[in-house]
Structure 1
Amino acid sequence: MQPVRKPGMPALAASVLRRLRQPLPGAQPRLRFEMPPELATGPEHGAEGEDTTRFGAPGPRMSAQHPLYVGFMGTVGVGVALLVYWIGSNTTQLLLWIVAALFIALGLDPVVRWLEGRKLPRPIGILVAVSVLVSAVAGFFATLIPTIVEQVTEIVVQAPVWVRDFIDSEFFRTMDAQFGVRDRITQELDKFVKNPDAMGGIFGGVLGFGSTVANGLFGTLIVLVLSLYFLAALPAMKKWGYRLAPRSRRARVEALSEEITGSVGNYVIGQACVALLNATFAFIVMSILGIPFAVLLAFVVALLAFIPLVGGMIAGVVVILVSLTTGWQTAVVYAVCYFAYLQFEAYFISPRIMQKAVAVPGAVAVISVIAGGSLLGVLGALIAIPTAAAVMLLVKEIFIVRQDKH
């Protein structure tokens, strides 16, 4: 390229400029860095298996089968699993309260929706349903606590009389003459009183019982408050949960979820009605036969009747053992009446009350109740059948339908 001579530029200056622009002998042209065309408009991926970097140097992408990648992701997965386990193990009580509150909210939701169908606003319906629940719980404790105090006071008052009668009995005198029972009992009592560990154990047991009662009352309050919040936010929670599903499957997920939650709610309401009828019948029979602690035992029967299948049997055995204190004839009569009622309940009452609730085969129900009770205690036994019904519904509507298409 020849330099352009400007007007007025001397010929000598133009010649010198032309010589300076000529390359030196043996010199190589300098490499210039330029942005690749594919990166000029933004980062793009190159061919398959390559990754174009910001500096225009394509390189191989790390395979998902690479040992370093597999080891790193495996370590991250184990760390996340351990973190979840640690959180769950340290918040077990809170998780149980949440499950109980959600179970109660699903049980009260049919009542609230029924009140909504009667042109009652949902907040008013929630207030009515929760007020009835709180009144029932308050009535339970208001009746149970005075009864327990009365019965314990009676036992404390009668205990010296029972001990005196036993000591004055011919059987105790004979045993004392042969083995020296009176002296042995006196020695053991002296050791027990003078032992600070034993007395501290009694004091610690009293404190532990008080702490258990306080924790139970606090847990009941937490469950009631959470139930109120869950019941108020249940429609919004459902809508939010449905949006987590793909839009193409959202209608199917919503239909299955509504069926499951409706079945759980109907089950809770139905089981409450069955338990109430069971406790009422047991209280009437106990009052007629003169079985002691009838009110307290009626509450025990109501609580145990919430546990499906085995709860009624356990309640019957408990009342029969108490009725033996009044005579074996009373125990036999109560056993005949109560177990006859259980048969009537199983074949006539429960099918009519539970016709809109879940339907679970007997073997599955028994296994579910045992497994739920082993894992979560009474709460696990209560929610075992609804959980089993939900799993069976999902298997029927998803897995079996998918299998039938192949």
Structure 2
Amino acid sequence: MESERFGTPGAPLNRSHPFLYGFLATLGVATAYLVIKAVQSASQVLVLILISLFLAVGLNPAVEALRKRGLKRSGAVLTITLIFVLVVGGFTAAVAPPIYKQTTQLVQNAPEYLDRLATNPTVANLDKNYHFIDKAKEKLSTQVQDGKLVISAFGGVIGVGKTIFSGLFSAITVFILTLYFLAALPKFTKTAYSLVPASRRERVSKISDEILVRIGGYVGGQLVVAGIAGLATFVAALALGLPYALSLAMVVALCDLIPLIGATLGAVVATLVGFVHDTKSGVIILIFYIIYQQLENYVIYPRIMRRSVSVPAIVTIIAALIGGSLLGLLGGLLAIPTAAAILLIIDQVAIPRAAQN
């Protein structure tokens, strides 16, 4: 026989033997350890993939809306891409000139600012008691002579350059992956549903499709919240006579899309612009954002998410807090869609099953 070329098969392994249990347990622990180490090593890449997939699912309702108007999926994805490029280009055109102008003015007026600082009575009194200006000059002179200042500045420039390059690379990677996922999303879902037993496939696909719809609703709701923040900033900046009100509003709206820290970051930027204009404007814009953030966190955001994702307001707040504390920015991004998915599964699976029992 053909099998005799390779010897006679031996007796089956004794599955109740303690050695086999020990071997399988050791193999399982080793496999789990290797998987954990692999995930840790590839964590940055996995985060980019997860964000890209999340954005693709969030943009899918817009693609489906264009498909209903007669476009093919490739054409719909291309249209969304062009809209995104136009928005980024418009944002850059609106924000870049003010930043360049303000930076140039800051460099040109730096000597005047230093003179004002030196003649300030409070600073002069502190220098009289602690002589910190002379100490700073002496330390600066020493570093210049030793070459440490140049080395430190050069290292700082390289560090900033690396950070900017890394950020751009991540942004481009997410952009490209999002386009691929968005174009192939129906194939992904169809393949995933085919792995489900036929008896449960229809129900699983319907529940999963509803989860995807709610994720899309979350992205749309987040855009609405950011738009409201930008509009409020625009009105406040116009009322106070701040320069570049439109650019400032666009920056605040963009920052508001960042989970957890975005609203605070936008408020800090707007407050700094207010203080640069004059102290009174800075104080007013600071008070405005303290009030507005409370309104956004506990009124605007929960209500919009309740309508777009069908998540109660209290669940929205709790999910955002838990997600942010567990996974930081990524947790804040995924918290509301995850809560929506859990509530849907409880409503459609857990409660009916409990009622049957």
Structures share fold, TM-score greater than 0.5: yes
Distance apart, 1:150 and its partner CA: 2.7
* Distance in 1, Cα, partners of 2:128 & 2:258: 51
Structure with the larger RCO, 1 or 2 (CA within 8 Å, 6+ apart):
2
Aligned to 1:20: none
Amino acid at match of 1:283: F
Aligned to 1:206: 157
* Distance in 2, Cα, partners of 1:166 & 1:349: 43
Larger CA Rg, structure 1 vs 2: 1
Higher helix proportion (structure 1 or 2) = 2
* Distance in 2, Cα, partners of 1:166 & 1:195: 28
Q: 1:312 touches 1:342 (CA, 8 Å); kept in 2? A: no
Distance apart, 1:286 and its partner CA: 0.8
Distance apart, 1:207 and its partner CA: 0.6
Q: Once structures 1 and 2 are overlaid, which stretch shifts more, 318-327 or 298-307?
A: 318-327
Note closer, same or farther for the CA distance 1:250–1:184 as it changes in structure 2 (3 Å cut).
Answer: same
TM-score in terms of structure 1 length: 0.75
Check if 1:388 corresponds to 2:339. yes
Q: Output aligned runs, 1:106-255, within 5 Å.
A: 106-255=57-206
Note closer, same or farther for the CA distance 1:240–1:68 as it changes in structure 2 (3 Å cut).
Answer: same
Distance apart, 1:258 and its partner CA: 0.2
Corresponding residue SS for 1:357: helix
Distance apart, 1:336 and its partner CA: 4.6
Counterpart among 255, 258, 263 of residue 209 in structure 2: 258
Q: Once structures 1 and 2 are overlaid, which stretch shifts more, 252-261 or 271-280?
A: 271-280
Deviations 1:179-205 (A, max 9, x none): 444432321211232344454232111
Q: Once structures 1 and 2 are overlaid, which stretch shifts more, 362-371 or 96-105?
A: 362-371
| Structure 2, unaligned runs of 5 or more | none
Amino acid at match of 1:404: A
Distance apart, 1:312 and its partner CA: 4.3
Distance apart, 1:310 and its partner CA: 7.5
Deviations 1:299-320 (A, max 9, x none): 3421343357875466446534
Q: 1:107 touches 1:264 (CA, 8 Å); kept in 2? A: yes
Check if 1:401 corresponds to 2:348. no
Aligned-residue CA RMSD (Å):
3.3
Aligned to 1:267: 218
Q: Once structures 1 and 2 are overlaid, which stretch shifts more, 175-184 or 83-92?
A: 175-184
Q: Give the percent of matched residue pairs that are identical in Structure 1 and Structure 2.
A: 36
* Distance in 2, Cα, partners of 1:60 & 1:86: 34
Distance apart, 1:346 and its partner CA: 6.5
Q: 1:109 touches 1:231 (CA, 8 Å); kept in 2? A: yes
Q: 2:230 touches 2:253 (CA, 8 Å); kept in 1? A: yes
Aligned to 1:331: 283
Q: Output aligned runs, 1:264-343, within 5 Å.
A: 264-291=215-242, 294-295=245-246, 297-306=248-257, 312=263, 315-316=266-267, 319-320=270-271, 322-325=273-276, 326-328=278-280, 331-332=283-284, 335-336=287-288, 339=291, 343=295
Amino acid at match of 1:222: T
Distance apart, 1:228 and its partner CA: 0.9
Amino acid at match of 1:100: I
* Distance in 1, Cα, partners of 2:286 & 2:201: 54
Amino acid at match of 1:230: F
